[in-house]
Structure 1
């Protein structure tokens, strides 16, 4: 099945994925290295395959705004749900690929800490996962 994504659809997918990494990075600022968290998460996103991998490999037009974590979350969490919905309508397998790609990025970002991620990062990961699953 061929999937056709508009430029706006691609921007939604980009905002969702890279925004999720940004939220984890912001959560890490409470007790870790946000730059390393962002780098590890971004590397995971750039390793994606399939249509999602093609979209994430070219983050053109991506603009994540927010002067606070709350403002960034207001932009990213709905984009996660929207990306899952638009991919799920066209190809459920690609929606699963997107979900798994974002979760791998969260895991990569969370591993920057020794042991388990702290409560701030764990809660942010829970919110991101809930947004991914809201479209199911």
Structure 2
């Protein structure tokens, strides 16, 4: 069975995945944000399956703007839930793949810390995971 996602579906997946990494960077702007962004992006680029193909596409219509972490979260957290709902309906195995990909990416972004992540980073991981699991 071949799965065809609409352009809007792809925007949702991109917003969710790249936005999760952006939230991790924003949650610890005083740490090593460039390293966190790079590590998280590399993890997203390593995705396989339908999710990997979609995330490898260049999509210009994603909105990761925000003047605050709260504004960014207003875009990203609902997109994470929407992406999971969409994939659970159209390709259940890809929903698990997407969840795993995002978790690996946020863990990679959090790994820039020596011993323990800052509490803000730990809290953001919890919020992202909750949004993924809300679908």
Q: What is the CA deviation profile of residues 66-123 of structure 1, one whole-angstrom value per residue up to 9, with x for unaligned ones?
A: 1100000000000000000000101110000000000000110010001221110000
Residue 111 of structure 1 aligns with which residue? 111
TM-score, normalising length: structure 1: 0.96
Following TM superposition, where does structure 1 have runs of at least 4 consecutive aligned residues deviating by more than 3 angstroms? Answer: none
Residue 13 of structure 1 aligns with which residue? 13
Q: How does 1:14-93 map to 2 (within 5 A)?
A: 14-29=14-29, 31-61=30-60, 62-93=62-93
**Counterpart-to-counterpart distance in 1, 2:76 and 2:96:** 18
CA shift, 1:3, in A, is 1.2
**Counterpart-to-counterpart distance in 1, 2:39 and 2:103:** 13
Aligned residues: 134
CA shift, 1:45, in A, is 0.2
- Structure 2 gap segments, 5+ residues each: none
TM-score, normalising length: structure 2: 0.96
